[in-house]
């Protein structure tokens, strides 16, 4: 028997379990053009829907005339708010407790807002119809600045006003002004103010984390098909959370949940863009019900950038206090958060500013206070987590800039300032001042490894020489050393404090072992490129002793997958990965009983070994998992049900806290403003590593999205509320030409509460990368008096900084 000659090492390798760089099973179809994305779906008689969108950022709608559009050959229907109102679908709830117009109901609040939905036989006819829908607008004053919004008499959301101009509470408590959404705070206000008032040293800085967009290469879209004969609605779409979408569709449409099947097919990148529910989904469903035919809606790129899911847009003011020696004593942060026309932020219900309260970062800061004010403006709604857990990128950018600003104030080296303030290894689990309990960390080890690898002291010496050369007129290039040390908070999350629309943020895995020893596992998550079909099979292979190559992973079909809250906020590995391990352990527990029966020993006399159960002390007596699987289906075992299946719904006891140390070395041409990244070193600690190849790929990708955000990517508006960045001509997506090679490295500090110790990694490089790139730019100018300049550091802004510092002579 082959098993007998294989060494234990061979048997481990044969599983392709956790820790190996297993090649991706997804790639065969993607490399051959056989992916199945939503726009590839083609159904008999399928129609195409598209929106008439508002050219104005704030206007009243006086009339909508659809007659001419309906004359266009191929146009079947034009839906407006008036058509949706009898169904109660002209507005829909947002994930943030607000409500949002599906189609403009009397007014529009941002440019590109959905006004009417034209349903036609194909895209061309729909476009022709859109041209002929006549909408008469009356322009209203536009507010694109949240500080002005809080002072303005102009009421953006009349629907939220009470009787006689009163101001009812919002979803997150009292509102201070008619354009104010909520105030949310964490920590201790007075003690923090007192510590800061009495501190040796206080550094203060205001920074704007600009509005940007996740911009996956595939835009959002769906196909809705109402089968009136069977009363079943099927909705295929770009959903990062298909089960949540099913529940939302049921709640707002009244169709019972068992009659709705939501399917996420292959998704062409998400990065947070595909978490929310958008008017296109609702209109497609209604149009399918009205016409009795399947209806497809696919955003074009301009729709995508202008209307679905912006990220960031946080105006942050910080105060950080320290002793003369640099020990941080207190941190104060205030945020004015621009949420646009509707509050559609995708955050757990109790966290209207996400996990911004992770903003004490990796440092042992005894006293802190955070206050966030959400504000309405005439900009698109959204506020999603763009490749990060909820608002964590903002939080980490804030603290990593404040550390640099404090270092300048103290005239200290920023790496040393970090080192003396890190939470120490022995302090974990660490209770942070703003409420979170960090699970595990070893920051000093990671930091020392990073600084040693890049020869930090050597870099600083080189930089000092460069400054001298620059002053002596020998070079026009400055050198910046960007540092960042980040702690993420991912894996939302414990049901006790994390829910979305009342749905607890657990996740799930269901496993069926087939008689011949292969398996299928289904999860409540959905891959958008992360390679779940590869990595979840690796977790299972290690847990149940069947080769990963014999395990199919399936996600995204709500008729077959167990309920879960989906994939975003790096929650798949921390939550669904845990569910997978736990379900695997249930399989193993039953397998142990079967093995003991087959080997005619007591259950406790067998133990699991790689791919089999062996009799303790008699390794020659064993049953492989493959044999056990077959026995589960062909033996009548007393007291044990036939079959080998398990399901686990996992409610994590805590978040996970991945961390990392990044260093960027950059040359900056002060005359052109062009930054050149000479070196980027990224050390990530994501706990147990499931697939190093995929981890490195995630790090490369996340860093590149960080480079984009830090060095040029933004959603910008003019004073009229016109979005100036609606195409890829204006919205920066780096190409291979702008992107450097990255050096990746790691330490491993497992999560103590996660079944396999994994913490998640997909978003770490973005979270840690943005401040690292930004700090590199800012550090280059530090010797010339720069304290802080806002991102994005595009060529023009870098040139401007150089100019303002008098470096152009």
Pick 31 or 198: Cβ nearer another protein: 31
Binder among 12, 17, 18, 26 for another protein (CB under 8 A): 26
Q: Which of 502, 736, 806, 809 binds another protein (CB under 8 A)?
A: 736
For another protein, give the closer residue by CB, 26 or 555: 26
Q: Tell me which of 611, 705, 714, 794 binds another protein, using CB under 8 A.
A: 705
Residue 301 engages another protein in binding (rule: CB under 8 A): yes
Q: How far is CA 255 from the centre of its chain?
A: 30
Helix axes 578-599 and 532-544, enclosed angle (nearest 10): 30
Closer by beta carbon to another protein, 37 or else 208? 37
Is 728 among the residues that bind another protein (CB under 8 A)? yes
- In angstroms, the CA 255 to CA 367 distance is 50
Give the binding range for another protein (CB under 8 A) out of 203-211, 401-409, 435-443, 696-704. Answer: 696-704
* Closest by CA position to 350, among listed 189, 190, 495: 495
Q: Is 387 a catalytic residue?
A: yes
Closer CB to another protein, residue 632 or residue 665?
665
Binding residue (CB under 8 A) for another protein from 7, 63, 634, 741: 741
Number of residues that bind another protein (CB under 8 A): 58
Identify which of 625, 604, 627, 598 has the alpha carbon closest to the alpha carbon of residue 616.
Answer: 604
Closest to another protein by CB, 117 or 271: 271
Helix, strand, or coil here: 513? strand
Select the residue interacting with another protein from 20, 133, 215, 277 (CB under 8 A): 215
5, 116, 19: which is closest to 68 by C-alpha?
Answer: 116
What's the closest the beta carbon of residue 704 comes to another protein, in angstroms? 4
**33 binds another protein, rule: CB under 8 A:** yes
Does position 621 interact with another protein (CB under 8 A)? The reply is no
Q: Which of 38, 119, 130, 267 binds another protein (CB under 8 A)?
A: 267
**29 scored as a contact of another protein (CB under 8 A):** yes
For the bound state, the minimum distance from the C-beta of residue 780 to another protein, rounded and expressed in Å, comes to 23
Q: Alpha carbon 260 to chain centroid distance?
A: 26
Question: Both tokens of residue 723?
Answer: 């979005």
- Pairing of the two strands 507-513 and 519-523: antiparallel
Least distance to another protein, CB of residue 741, Å: 6
Nearest CA among 230, 236, 229 for reference residue 295:
236
How far apart CA 66 and CA 58 sit, in angstroms, is 22
With CB under 8 A as the contact rule, the residue among 6, 14, 19, 35 that binds another protein is: 35
Instruction: Reduce the DSSP state of residue 802 to 3 states and report it.
Output: helix
Q: Are 340 and 420 in contact (CB under 8 A)?
A: no
State which residue, 219 or 385, has the beta carbon closest to another protein: 219
**Applying CB under 8 A, which of residues 464, 727, 796, 808 lies at the interface with another protein?**
727
Active-site annotation holds for 763: yes
Report the DSSP beta bridge partners of residue 667. 479, 676
Residue whose pair of structure tokens reads 């990368």 in the numeric block: 769
Asked if 155 and 165 touch (Cβ cutoff 8 Å), the reply is: no
713 Cβ partners below 8 Å, 6+ apart? 212, 213, 215, 731, 732, 733, 792
Instruction: Write out the binding residues for another protein, residues 519-548 only, by CB under 8 A.
Output: 528-531
Per-residue contact flags (x/-) with another protein for residues 118 to 157, judged by CB under 8 A? ----xxx---------------------------------
Q: What is the H or E stretch that residue 771 is in? A: helix 764-781
Give me the sign of the Cα torsion angle 796, 736, 266, 38.
positive
Contact between 742 and another protein by CB under 8 A: the answer reads yes
For the chain, the residue count is 809
- Residue range at the interface with another protein (CB under 8 A); choices 33-41, 451-459, 661-669, 801-809: 33-41
Which segments of 112-217 are extended strands (E)? 114-120, 134-139, 180-187, 201-212
State residue 563 phi and psi, 5-degree precision: -65, 135
Give the nearer residue to another protein in terms of CB position, either 634 or 741.
741
Quick check: is 388 catalytic?
yes
Tell me which residues touch another protein (CB under 8 A). 23-24, 26-35, 37, 39-40, 42, 73, 122-124, 215-219, 266-269, 271, 298, 300-301, 528-531, 693-694, 696-698, 700-705, 727-729, 733, 735-737, 739, 741-742
């Amino acid at each position: 028997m082959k098993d007998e000659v294989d060494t234990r090492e061979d048997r481990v390798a044969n599983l392709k379990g956790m820790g190996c760089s297993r090649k991706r099973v997804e790639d065969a179809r993607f490399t051959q053009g056989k992916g199945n994305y939503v726009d590839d779906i083609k159904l008999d008689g399928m129609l195409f829907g598209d929106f008439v969108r508002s050219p104005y950022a704030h206007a009243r709608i006086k009339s909508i005339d659809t007659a001419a559009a309906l004359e266009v050959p191929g146009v079947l229907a034009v839906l407006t708010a008036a058509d949706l109102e009898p169904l109660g679908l002209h507005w829909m709830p947002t994930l943030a407790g607000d409500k949002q117009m599906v189609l403009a109901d009397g007014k529009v609040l941002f440019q590109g807002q959905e006004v009417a939905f034209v349903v036609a036989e194909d895209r061309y006819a729909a476009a022709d119809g859109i041209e002929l829908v006549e909408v008469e607008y009356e322009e209203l004053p536009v507010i694109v600045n949240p500080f002005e919004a809080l002072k303005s008499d102009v009421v953006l959301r009349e629907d939220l006003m009470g009787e006689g101009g009163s101001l009812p509470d919002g979803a997150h408590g009292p509102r201070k002004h008619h354009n104010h959404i909520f105030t949310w705070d964490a920590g201790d206000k007075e003690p923090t103010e007192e510590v800061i008032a009495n501190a040796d040293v206080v550094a203060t800085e205001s920074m704007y984390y600009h509005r940007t967009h996740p911009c996956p290469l595939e835009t959002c879209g769906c196909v809705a098909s109402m089968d009136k004969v069977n009363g079943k609605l099927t909705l295929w779409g770009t959903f990062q959370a298909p089960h949540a979408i099913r529940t939302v569709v049921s709640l707002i449409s009244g169709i019972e949940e068992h009659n709705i099947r939501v399917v996420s097919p292959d998704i062409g990148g998400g990065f947070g863009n595909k978490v929310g529910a958008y008017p296109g989904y609702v209109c497609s469903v209604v149009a399918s019900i009205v016409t009795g035919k399947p209806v497809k809606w696919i955003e074009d790129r301009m729709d995508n950038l202008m209307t679905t899911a912006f990220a960031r847009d946080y105006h942050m003011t910080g105060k950080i206090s320290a002793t003369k020696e640099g020990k941080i004593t207190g941190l104060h942060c205030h945020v004015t958060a621009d949420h646009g026309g509707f509050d559609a932020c995708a955050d757990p219900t109790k966290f209207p500013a996400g996990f911004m309260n992770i903003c004490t970062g990796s440092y042992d800061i005894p006293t802190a206070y955070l206050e966030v004010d959400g504000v309405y403006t005439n900009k698109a709604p959204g506020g999603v987590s763009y490749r990060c857990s909820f608002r964590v990128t903002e939080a980490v950018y804030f603290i990593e800039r404040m550390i640099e600003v404090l270092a300048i104030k103290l005239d200290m080296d920023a790496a040393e300032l970090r080192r003396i303030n890190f939470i120490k290894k022995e302090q974990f689990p660490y209770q942070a001042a703003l409420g979170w309990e960090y699970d595990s960390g070893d920051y000093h080890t990671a930091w020392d490894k990073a600084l040693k690898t890049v020869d930090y002291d050597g870099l600083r010496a080189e930089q000092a020489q460069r400054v001298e050369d620059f002053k002596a007129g020998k070079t026009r290039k400055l050198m910046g050393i960007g540092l960042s040390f980040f702690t993420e908070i991912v894996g939302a999350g414990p049901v006790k404090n994390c829910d979305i629309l009342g749905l607890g943020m657990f996740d799930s895995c269901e496993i069926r072992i087939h008689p011949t020893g292969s398996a299928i596992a289904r999860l409540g998550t959905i891959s958008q490129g992360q390679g779940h079909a590869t990595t979840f099979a690796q977790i299972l292979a290690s847990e149940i002793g069947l080769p990963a190559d014999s395990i199919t992973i399936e996600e995204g079909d709500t008729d077959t997958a167990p309920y879960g809250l989906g994939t975003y906020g790096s929650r798949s590995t921390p939550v669904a990965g845990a569910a997978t391990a736990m379900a695997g352990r249930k399989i193993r527990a039953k397998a142990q009983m079967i093995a003991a029966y087959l080997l005619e020993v007591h259950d406790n006399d067998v133990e699991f070994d790689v791919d089999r159960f062996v009799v303790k002390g008699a390794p020659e007596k064993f049953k492989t998992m493959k044999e056990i699987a077959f026995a589960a289906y062909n033996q009548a075992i007393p007291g044990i049900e036939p079959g080998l299946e398990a399901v686990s719904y996992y409610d994590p006891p805590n978040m996970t806290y991945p961390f990392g140390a990044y260093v960027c070395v950059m040359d900056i041409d002060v005359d052109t403003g062009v930054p050149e990244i000479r070196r980027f070193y990224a050390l990530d600690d994501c706990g147990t590593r499931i697939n190093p190849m995929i981890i490195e790929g995630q790090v490369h990708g996340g860093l590149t999205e960080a480079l984009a955000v830090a060095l040029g990517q933004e959603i910008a508006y003019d004073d009229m509320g016109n979005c100036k960045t609606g195409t890829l001509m204006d919205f920066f997506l780096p190409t291979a030409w702008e992107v450097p090679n990255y050096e990746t490295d790691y330490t491993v500090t497992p999560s103590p509460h996660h079944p396999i110790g994994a913490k998640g990694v997909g978003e770490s490089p973005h979270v840690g990368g943005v401040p690292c790139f930004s700090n590199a730019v800012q550090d280059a100018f530090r010797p010339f008096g720069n304290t802080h300049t806002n991102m994005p550091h595009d060529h023009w802004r870098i040139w401007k900084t150089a100019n303002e510092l008098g470096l152009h002579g």
